[in-house]
Amino acid sequence: MKYKKMKNTVISKVSAMLLVLALCMSLVLPMAGMNVYAESEDTSIIAEESTNDADIYAEEDITEDSETEEETEAAPAATAITGYKTTYNKRYNQDLLIEADITPADVREVQLQRYNSEEDSWATILTASAAQADVTEQDESLSEDAADTGIAANTQPASLTEEDGTAHVTFNIPKEERQRTTSVWRIYVDAAKKYSAACSDNITVITRNLEVLSMSARAACIYRIDGDGEGTMIYSRNSYTEVAQASTTKLMTAVLLLESGLIDSTTMISAHAAATPYGSGRMVAGDIYNTRDLLYAMLLPSANDAATAVAERVGGSEEVFVNMMNAKAAKLGLTRTHFRNPHGLDADGHYTTAKELAELTAYAYTFPEIRDCWATQYKAIRSLEKGRRWHLWSTNAIFGYISNFLGGKTGTEDNAGCCFTGVYTFNGDTYVTVVLGSGYGFSRWRDTKKLHGYIHDYALSQY
């Protein structure tokens, strides 16, 4: 009985221990499984997240690359406008062409726009296109066919030609758009699918409506002295019309005196010379003057008696001297100039033209003695025998009103009206202005100032 009891006790203890061990194992094993699963799950999650991030980054890279490619494809290429001038100076009645090259061409229209300062905007005045070029070719073809009929070709205000990807455009600004003295323009090209829009720098256009000068003179001109007996007419108003020239005649009298070599001699005043109509009133028969002083008396106060005295001194008589005047005019090529006296009083057959008077003035300008007279406004002379003093004042009222004025010769008569021929320098060039038949008062000087303004614009704009 004792043995059995001990045996049962041992068995019970062993069973209890096994039961506890089994219980422990049942608790430990699931937890270990859970840890393994957790570690595996964490690893999977990290791997999955890494995979997802890589996919996202890859997608972003692809997207960015795609967008860059799309942007590169969408960005238009630049358009260049070249070959044009930024300043144009023209006469109002001259064609005014603005030309430029457009690269790339891409069959686009090209616009010429004018700036409106009042509205601060640009207005398209002309448009050039390849379509117009086709029409122009058709018009030229028609014009060739119609040449025998006298039909004139159609001149296009805007033309465009394309070659090797560059468009050459020409705009002829309409005359009605050139009435402004100064205007601002630009060339504009619209954007295309592949190319950007573009506009040129501002283009300043200066036009002068100088042909329409309001003057009282019946005839007028401007003559540029080019040297060696040559010159250029740059303005003309009835300049080939034969008109009376009044005391501008005395330029020829002065030229013959200087060419005679008698300038440093003395001259006795004859009764005929002293009695010359509208003389100075200061010359008395028998008076003797230095002949050089008579040159000043002719060219400053325009003394008719002094001119007659010089004519007699050089020619021996007034009639012979007049023949010398006409011979000299012919030698100078003044075919529409004729003299009847040495002073310029009205007379039938006594005439010149504005152009030929300008040429005579340019010739007279070659003599330094005449230039010295022109530069003088006042001079006092005396008769050698009687000692009578004579104050000579220039009749050139233009002194002080026009810069760079070198001098000239006035003339006034009933038939001739008020006349003036003057010499000026501007920008290194020498010019002669002539007005014949101006109104009385200050008219000839107003006319002369307008011509001087023309010289200024001409020299600056290089018409």
Q: What is the mean pLDDT of the chain?
A: 81
Top mean pLDDT of 35-44, 51-60, 207-216, 256-265 is at 256-265
The DSSP bridge pattern shows strands 203-208 and 87-91 to be parallel
Residue 270 lies in a domain: yes
Both 198 and 312 in one domain: the answer is: no
Please identify every residue annotated as catalytic: 247, 250, 302
Instruction: Taking each helix axis as running N to C, give the angle between helix 304-315 and helix 318-331, from 0 to 180 degrees, rounded to the nearest 10.
Output: 80
pLDDT in tens, 371-414: 999 989 999 999 998 888 999 999 988 877 777 889 899 999 99
Indicate the range of 53-62, 145-154, 293-302, 363-372 predicted with least confidence: 145-154
According to the model, what pLDDT value does residue 17 have? 66
Q: In CATH, what number is assigned to the domain containing residue 110? A: 2.60.40.10
Both 115 and 232 in one domain: the answer is: no
Both 103 and 226 in one domain: the answer is: no
**Tally of CA atoms within 13 A in the half-sphere of 271 that contains its CB:** 0
For residue 215, give the DSSP letter: -
pLDDT in tens, 109-136: 999 999 988 889 999 999 998 776 554 4
Q: Give the three-state DSSP class for 144.
A: helix
pLDDT of 28 strictly over 60: no
Q: In CATH, what number is assigned to the domain containing residue 370? A: 3.40.710.10
Residue 190, Cα to own-chain centre: how many angstroms? Answer: 29
Residue where a domain stops, chosen among 154, 182, 208: 208
Among 357, 360, 338, smallest CA distance to 349 is for 338
Which run of H or E residues covers position 383?
none
Long-range own/partner contacts, residues 397-401 (CB < 8 A, 24 or more apart): 397/442, 397/445, 398/422, 398/445, 398/448, 398/449, 401/445, 401/449
Only one residue has tokens 């200087």, namely 258
Both 178 and 249 in one domain: the answer is: no
Both 223 and 334 in one domain: the answer is: yes
Distance CA 18, CA 258 (A): 160
For residue 82 the two structure tokens come to: 């070249």
- pLDDT-derived band at 9 (thresholds 50, 70, 90) equals low
Among 415, 458, 416, 454, smallest CA distance to 435 is for 416
The tally of domains found in the chain comes to: 2
Higher pLDDT, 134 or 274: 274
Distance CA 398, CA 451 (A): 12
For residue 181, give the DSSP letter: S
Structural domain of 176: 80-208
Q: Contact at 8 Å (CB) between 198 and 78? A: yes
Residue 334 lies in a domain: yes
- pLDDT-derived band at 3 (thresholds 50, 70, 90) equals very low
Distance CA 410, CA 418 (A): 8
Both 131 and 269 in one domain: the answer is: no
CA distances from 358 to 82, 266, 323 (A): 44, 30, 21
Both 322 and 181 in one domain: the answer is: no
Q: Give the three-state DSSP class for 63.
A: helix
Instruction: Let me know the angle formed at the C-alpha of 52 by 49 and 56, rounded to the nearest 5 degrees.
Output: 135
According to the model, what pLDDT value does residue 73 have? 59
Residue 126 lies in a domain: yes
For residue 146 the two structure tokens come to: 């119609």
pLDDT of 66 strictly over 60: no
**Mean pLDDT, rounded, for 214-243:** 91
Residue 20 lies in a domain: no
According to the model, what pLDDT value does residue 20 have? 58
Percent of the chain with pLDDT over 70: 75
- pLDDT-derived band at 51 (thresholds 50, 70, 90) equals very low
Residue where a domain stops, chosen among 174, 208, 242: 208
Both 345 and 451 in one domain: the answer is: yes
Among 202, 203, 192, smallest CA distance to 78 is for 192
For residue 76, give the DSSP letter: P
Q: Contact at 8 Å (CB) between 232 and 226? A: yes
For residue 257 the two structure tokens come to: 């005196």
Both 303 and 418 in one domain: the answer is: yes
Residue 407 lies in a domain: yes
Residue 367 lies in a domain: yes
Count of C-beta atoms within a 10 Å radius of residue 247 = 26
Q: Exposed, middle or buried by CB within 10 Å (0-12, 13-18, 19+), for 238?
A: middle
- pLDDT-derived band at 360 (thresholds 50, 70, 90) equals very high
Both 292 and 414 in one domain: the answer is: yes
Which run of H or E residues covers position 175?
none
pLDDT of 223 strictly over 70: yes
Residue where a domain stops, chosen among 162, 189, 208: 208
- pLDDT-derived band at 8 (thresholds 50, 70, 90) equals low
pLDDT of 41 strictly over 80: no
